[in-house]
Amino acid sequence: MRFKFTIFLLALNAISFGLIAYLNHQARQIEPSTGGLSGQIGRELIDADRIELHGRGIETPRILEREGSTWYLLEPMQWSANYFAINRILNQLQFLEEEASFPVDDIEKTGQSLADYGLENPLLRIVIAEGEESISLSIGTLTEIGNNVYLLGPDEREIFVVDRQVIDGLLVDLNDLRTREIFDIPVFEVDALGLQIRSENTADGSSLKVRLARNNGAWTFEAPLAAKADPTLVDNTINTLTAAKVGRFIETEQTNLILQGLENPFMQVTIHGNKRRQSLIVGNLDPNSQGAPQYFAKLENNPAIFTVLARPFDILREAQEALRERNFMNFDPSKLSTINISENGRKIRLQKLETGENDWQVLESNGENEIQPYRADPAIMDSLLKNLSTLRASGFTADAPTASDNENYGFNNPRRVVTLSFSIGDPLTLMLAHPEGREDVLYAKTNLADFIFEVERYTTLRMIPLDTHYYRNRLLDMLPSAARISALKLTNLEKNEAIFDYIIGQENMGWNDLIEEFDTEHGDQIRVLLDAVRKFEVKSYLIDSYTEAYPVDEENSLPWIFQLSATIQLPGGETDRTETREYVLTERLSGTVQVAGSKQYNTIFEIPQPLIEALYELTDEMEIPPEMAEEPVLEPKPIEPVTAPAQINTP
């Protein structure tokens, strides 16, 4: 009994599995009456990895295959497919709806055939495949009524009437089916760039090979020399290359590798990505290009020929120099401890002080004698450090100079030697030189490499003068904030008379009150002098010693014409401490030059423009024309006529 029941259960399972298999088969072959046209092709469209277009409506068959998420055109040429064009085809098919349908058996019963509907030799036959499985759709002629066409379904048992516009969308032009992009390696993936450029200056037509690689985020040349590359320029170049587009595709019957210069190309550009690379071969100029010049080009291992804009590749002809890093003095200014500037035995030393990050002093030495140190000007030092750290090459003169080259460029007797010493690390030495007799160029090299660069002569020498006065702090004197100026006097030494002499007698009286009471006409100028006494800045230092006259040269000197003196009250203890400040000045020598001296600070210098202008207004004795003073103009005295000369009688 148990045995019979077991046999019954086995038979029941077999029937169940058979029914499931049958239903699954029926699900894969959806009846037109229930699923319609979109239901019959929807599943294959979702996972399609191959599309074929055949028929008399297109000149040549088109075959496309998908690798991963990327579609490629295999026929009539090998090229990346236009993602948007492929999606449009798939979307058109996915949402294809029929206006009507009828079985093929019905037309055969009426004596008609597929040829009567244009389906025996269809206008377009579409094959959609996924792996080994595929379906096909055939598109025939127009219907007699309405703007529709006949379409033979995937099982070839039913004919559908569909909108013609949907079918027109499937007849994509070959140019639209091909993407215009050339490289498909994304910018972020590129880690090397290789160039092979045919030289037009050599008899054998040899090529220059240039290779750049990215290591730890920095771009460097690996060939034809080892040098730093400009990261911004390299990134821009790679962006330009990866964004390059096809100008036009050259039809197969029009290709000629020799005439188009692709047999012996003038350039080959290789972009390296993550374990893959793409090479573009660039040939001759296209004589038929419209607008901007274009070159013939092709990808390596791909027969398709096309054109590209010439300009990006013309720029690459000089890549060895154009992409090179021109900043050759990169260093960290915060790590600097000393800067030595020398020429022919004369040396200036700039030394960082421990009192502050921006505190420097300047010393000059000539042989064994070292001059007294002075505080360096913070603004001048900031400018010097910035200019040195960003010094750029205007040209690359020699990459592997010989000893003879160094001598010819003047490095046996350099114009300047600048040595930077750091708290940590080795010194950096910059040498500037020019050939003997050449005052129009300036060359540079460092101890870090053998390269010789050309730099801008005027601006480079100007930023590192061999003059302690240039680096000295322009702030000669600064009063404490609590200090009070109690008296201000301007004297004409030549006449030994005061131009003005103001004293504030009361502590609570201010200079503005005094000016309003005694000299409103020159109030602005007096305020400039007060500000100068409180914070005395110089335009430039001339001599590091004071003399009783300004020595213009060994034979000539200029007298001190004016004296500016001030009485200063400095609070401290029970009573204020009184100090004086005195500055002597020449007359105004030009629109922007007036010289002053300080016995207290033992120096002679030029004063800044605001102080020149204020002093001029206070000391100028030029007579004002009556028109400016709004006074009546006197009538000029009449000029007596000159007596006519007596006539001379000649015999």
pLDDT at position 629: 60
Looking at residue 533, what is its pLDDT? 96
Instruction: List the single range of 25-34, 269-278, 314-323, 574-583 with lowest mean pLDDT.
Output: 25-34
At 88 the pLDDT is 82
Handedness of CA 120, 121, 123, 126 (dihedral sign): positive
Alpha-carbon distances of 284 from 264, 279, 301, rounded to whole Å: 10, 17, 19
Task: With cut-offs at 50, 70 and 90, classify the pLDDT of residue 540.
Answer: very high
Helix or strand (DSSP H, E) at 541: strand 540-543
Rounded mean pLDDT, 192-196: 95
pLDDT 10s digits, 174-187: 777 888 889 989 99
- Binned at pLDDT 50, 70 and 90, residue 139 comes out as confident
The pLDDT value given to residue 118: 87
Query: First and final CA of the chain: distance in angstroms?
Result: 183
Question: Between residues 52 and 41, which one has the greater pLDDT?
Answer: 52
pLDDT at position 27 is: 38
Q: Please check the confidence at residue 20 and state whether its pLDDT lies above 60.
A: no
Question: How many C-beta neighbours within 10 Å does residue 118 have?
Answer: 18
Whole-number pLDDT of residue 214:
93
The average pLDDT across 224-244 equals: 93
Tell me the three state secondary structure of residue 308.
strand
Instruction: Tell me the HSE value of 598 on the side-chain side, using a 13 A CA sphere.
Output: 21
The dihedral built from the CA positions of residue 302, 307, 310 and 312, taken in this order, carries a sign that is negative
Query: Rounded mean pLDDT of 517-545?
Result: 91
* Rounded distance between C-alpha atoms, residue 345 and residue 595, angstroms: 31
- The candidate with the shortest Cα–Cα distance to 304, out of 244, 241, 257, is 257
Residues 433-462 have pLDDT tens digits of 999 888 899 999 999 999 999 999 999 999
pLDDT at 196: 94
pTM for the predicted model, two decimal places: 0.70
CA dihedral 451, 454, 458, 459 (to 10 degrees): -60
The answer to whether 487 and 564 have CB atoms below 8 angstroms apart is no
Q: How far is CA 628 from CA 194, 368, 521, 619, 633, in A?
A: 76, 62, 15, 18, 10
**What is the pLDDT at residue 309?**
94
531: exposed, middle or buried (C-beta count within 10 Å: 0-12, 13-18, 19+)? middle
Residue showing tokens 């110089």: 538
Distance of CA 407 to the CA centre of its chain: 36
In 327-471 the beta strands, taken as DSSP E runs, fall at 336-343, 346-352, 360-366, 369-370, 374-375, 395-398, 416-422, 428-433, 443-446, 452-454
In whole angstroms, what is the distance from residue 340 CA to residue 474 CA? 21
Alpha-carbon distance 191 to 217, whole Å? 9
- pLDDT at residue 69, rounded to an integer: 80
- Whether residue 549 has pLDDT greater than 90: yes
- Enumerate helices (H) and strands (E) in the chain, giving the number of each: 16, 39
The answer to whether the CB of 257 falls within 8 A of the CB of 303 is no
The pLDDT value recorded for residue 29 is 41
Task: Give pairs for 592-601: CB < 8 Å, separation 24+.
Answer: 595/542, 595/550, 595/558, 596/538, 597/546, 597/547, 597/550, 597/560, 598/476, 598/546, 599/546, 601/476, 601/477, 601/546
Distance CA 286, CA 307 (A): 7
Is the Cα dihedral 601, 603, 608, 613 positive or negative? positive
d(CA 56, CA 333): 74
The token pair that represents 203 in the structure block:
């008899």
Segment 73-96 shows an average pLDDT of 81
Q: Chain-centre distance of CA 293, in angstroms? A: 26
81 DSSP 8-state letter: B
Token pair of 142 as six digits: 């127009």
What's the burial of 462, exposed, middle or buried (CB within 10 Å: 0-12/13-18/19+)? exposed
Strand-pairing partners, residue 536, are 477
Distance CA 333, CA 352 (A): 11
Residue with tokens 């040899």: 206
pLDDT number for residue 270: 95
Helix (H) or strand (E) holding 598: strand 595-598
Three-state helix/strand/coil letters over 560-590: CCEEEEEEEEECCCCCCEEEEEEEEECCCCC
* pLDDT of 381 strictly over 70: yes
Q: Which helix (H) or strand (E) holds 177?
A: helix 174-177
Residue 83 has pLDDT above 50, yes or no: yes
**CA-CA distance, 101 to 36, in Å (whole number)?**
9
Side chain identity at residue 327, one-letter code:
N
Say whether 287 sits in a helix, a strand or coil: coil
Question: For residues 401 and 409, is the Cβ–Cβ distance under 8 A?
Answer: yes
Tens digits of residue pLDDT in 250-276:
888 888 899 999 999 999 999 999 889
Mean pLDDT of 127-147: 84
Residues 26-177, CATH architecture: 2-Layer Sandwich (3.30)
CA distances from 585 to 490, 492, 495, 511, 605 (A): 10, 10, 14, 24, 10
Mean pLDDT of 508-537: 87
Torsion over CA of 568, 548, 596 and 599, rounded to 10 degrees? -40
Name the residue with higher pLDDT: 485 or 205.
Answer: 485
Angle ∠(553,556,557) on CA atoms, nearest 5: 95
Q: What class is the 475-619 domain?
A: mainly beta
pLDDT for residue 328: 92
A 10 A CB-CB count for 185 gives: 18
What mean pLDDT comes out for the span 56-63? 83
Q: Cα(4)–Cα(1) distance, rounded to whole angstroms?
A: 5
Query: What is the pLDDT of the chain when averaged over all its residues?
Result: 86
Q: Two tokens at 182?
A: 């050339």
Give 64's DSSP letter.
E
Would you state the pLDDT for residue 646?
A: 65
pLDDT at residue 562 is higher than 60:
yes
